[in-house]
């Protein structure tokens, strides 16, 4: 699933391409009986309303909140996109082949859009400059909906999300306060709880804990102030590095140009099972366990076993 760095990389790319463009058409082949009556484009009835609301509107800004992409239009409406497990947004030019039931949108340019991971387009906006914004979503889990900008922070989609870890206001005392909400929780699961802190998922939790030398199974209350400070700094460093590297493309994620990020090349823990720990002077190796249904990776030496 795209995490904070991948979503921020996407937002940065969209800012360069789509601000000021006017939407002239919208297409979707999402259709699910499970989502009938929901306010997402997976309900065809909602999509028809969605399309009427956005046609002719100009894009004025693109922002991120947690793992959500917020595309603000020139009225009070926002297109909110959560890419979920396998979704990513792509900008370029496409040709439509209506006779093709599967993958009717053919990418024309840039060439990187032709990557197989970019070909499962299920939602697409057409702009007045002849370009398109496509959502490739192999497993069709992504969410696209409209939100009123006047109450977005209290909406169903964003109302319960915790603070942003890279904001200046997110000081150590705030971090400590947020973790204290779940004092007996396993630290990795607490970090991934979007109600506690926004944007951290499996990859960046593993990497931050490795950097800080904290075992993912440890209870929040047992970590202690000194190691909490190391973890706080590690989270900020790891997320910032993820953005600098253009996100992590070990799985499906691609940026808006259809290109891979490079954070996977700097992994120290995530999916490095059995490999020697890369920490200087450490003789441990990376082990894998399952925690809360998620694969979890850590060093069996410098990340001391939880008590």
Residue 68 CA to residue 78 CA, distance in Å, equals: 11
Residue 165 CA to residue 198 CA, distance in Å, equals: 7
Decide if 294 is catalytic.
yes
SS3 state of residue 262: coil
Decide if 116 is catalytic.
no
DSSP 1-67: ---HHHHHHHHHHHHHHTTT-BEEEEEE----GGGTTSSSTTSHHHHHHHHHHHTTPBEEEEEEETT
Strand order through the sheet with 143-148: 59-65, 68-73, 77-82, 143-148
Using a 10 angstrom Cβ sphere, with 0-12 exposed, 13-18 middle and 19 or more buried, the burial of residue 225 is exposed
One of 64, 67, 178, 211 is an active-site residue; which one?
67
Decide if 67 is catalytic.
yes
Residue 307 CA to residue 222 CA, distance in Å, equals: 9
CA neighbor of 119 nearest in space, from 258, 221, 255, 223: 258
Residue 221 CA to residue 178 CA, distance in Å, equals: 12
Residue 90 CA to residue 93 CA, distance in Å, equals: 10
One of 3, 6, 218, 259 is an active-site residue; which one?
3
One of 2, 107, 165, 216 is an active-site residue; which one?
2
Q: Where are the alpha helices (DSSP H) in the chain?
A: 4-17, 44-54, 172-179, 187-191, 202-212, 225-244
Decide if 3 is catalytic.
yes
One of 176, 219, 227, 294 is an active-site residue; which one?
294
Which residues are designated catalytic?
Answer: 2-3, 67, 294
């Amino acid at each position: 699933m795209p995490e904070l760095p991948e979503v921020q990389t996407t937002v940065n790319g969209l800012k360069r391409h789509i601000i000021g463009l006017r939407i002239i058409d919208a297409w979707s082949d999402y259709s699910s009986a499970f989502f009938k009556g929901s306010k997402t484009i997976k309900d065809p009835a909602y999509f028809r309303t969605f399309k009427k609301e956005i046609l002719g509107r100009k894009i004025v800004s693109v922002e991120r909140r947690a793992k959500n992409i917020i595309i603000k239009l020139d009225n009070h409406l926002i297109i909110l996109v959560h890419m979920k497990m396998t979704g990513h947004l792509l900008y370029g030019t496409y040709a439509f082949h209506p006779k093709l039931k599967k993958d009717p949108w053919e990418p024309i340019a840039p060439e990187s859009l032709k990557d197989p991971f970019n070909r499962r387009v299920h939602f697409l906006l057409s702009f007045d400059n002849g370009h398109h914004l496509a959502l490739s979503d192999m497993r069709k889990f992504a969410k696209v909906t409209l939100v009123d900008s006047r109450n977005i922070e209290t909406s169903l989609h964003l109302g319960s999300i915790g603070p942003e870890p890279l904001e200046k206001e997110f000081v150590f005392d705030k971090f400590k306060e947020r973790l204290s909400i779940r004092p007996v929780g396993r630290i990795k699961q607490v970090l991934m709880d979007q109600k506690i802190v926004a944007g951290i998922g499996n990859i960046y939790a593993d990497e931050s804990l490795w950097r800080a030398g904290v075992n993912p199974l440890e209870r929040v209350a047992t970590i202690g102030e000194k190691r909490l400070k190391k973890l706080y700094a590690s989270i900020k460093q790891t997320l910032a590095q993820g953005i600098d590297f253009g996100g992590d493309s070990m799985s499906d994620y691609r940026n808006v140009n259809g290109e891979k990020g490079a954070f996977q090349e700097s992994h120290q823990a995530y999916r490095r099972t059995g490999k020697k720990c890369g920490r200087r002077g450490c003789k441990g190796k990376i082990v894998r366990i399952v925690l809360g249904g998620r694969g979890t990776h850590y060093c069996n030496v410098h990340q001391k076993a939880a008590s």
